[in-house]
Amino acid sequence: MFYSFELESYLHELLPERSGLLREMERQALQETIPIVTPAVGNFLAFLVLTHKPRAILEIGTAIGYSTLWLTQAAREVGGQVTTIDMNLGRRTRALEFFGQAGLSDCITSLAGDARKLLPTLGQTFDFVFIDAAKGEYLEYLELVSPLIAPGGLLVVDNVLFRGWVVPGAMFEQKYERMVGAVREFLRRLSQDSQFVTTVLPLGDGLALSLKR
Ligand SMILES: C[S@@+](CC[C@H](N)C(=O)[O-])C[C@H]1O[C@@H](n2cnc3c(N)ncnc32)[C@H](O)[C@@H]1O
């Protein structure tokens, strides 16, 4: 988050109380430095699902299933199903346990493997896609997932402002240069892709929202 700490805390306080399960997942993610969306982003994902009412949702990057649960809790209210992909088997196993504890296993299909290999095998379209995996691979996901998004479908991508480092002139350690370049190129390509109408929000680490024409 690169708006002020005070504003972030204030927005955080406005969020409704989260379930004990979500708070436990936040605690574990913090303790083990597993990067998950902020509660404000989770809440916004749920808002998007409730307003867009997708039947089929795809998530690239499950981790321990925190954002998946935000998506699925809302999806259940609108009769949607969630497919989520992660290549980290340990995290996926923990996600499956959390899905069970939330009583949402029936609404979720969890796929293990590299999204770049799995996406071409899915053989279905989605009304809502959330990308939150390896930033250096975003352009590859975009190419593979674009044909799977139904007309009128929504693509949501996390971390597109990458701690504000995508802004020209921003200072960051040299080791991040390649990744910052990849995210900048991704945002440039997505913004210019005439299949989509795209807008970028400075929520969390930056969210791109693209509506497929
Ligand atoms: C930022 S975490 C996802 C966090 C999750 N969306 C949340 O907010 O709760 C990114 C995840 O993407 C997974 N990942 C990275 N590259 C991947 C790939 N090529 N295919 C599938 N999963 C990938 C990692 O294993 C990691 O668990």
Atom number of ligand 1 nearest to Cα 35 = 1
> Tell me, what's the pLDDT at 101?
98
pTM: 0.97
Task: Note down the domain range covering 13.
Answer: 5-212
For residue 8, the model assigns a pLDDT of: 79
Over residues 142-173, the pLDDT tens digits come to: 999 999 999 999 999 999 999 999 999 999 99
**Is the C-beta atom of 86 inside 6 A of ligand 1?**
yes
Whether the pLDDT of residue 130 is over 60: the answer is: yes
Q: For residue 3, what pLDDT band results from cuts at 50, 70 and 90?
A: low
Strands 126-131 and 149-158: parallel
Share of the chain above pLDDT 70, in %: 99
Is any atom of ligand 1 closer than 6 Å to the C-beta of 115? yes
pLDDT at 1 over 60: no
What is the average pLDDT score of the chain?
Answer: 96
What is the 133 CA–ligand 1 centroid distance (Å)? 4
pLDDT of residue 7: 83
For residue 153, CA distances in Å to 49, 147, 177, 186 come to 11, 11, 32, 19
pLDDT at 2: 59
- Of 136, 110, 114, nearest to 57 (Cα)? 110
CA 25 to ligand 1: nearest atom: 9
Task: Tell me the average pLDDT across 46-66.
Answer: 98
Counted domains in the chain: 1
CATH of the domain at 52: 3.40.50.150
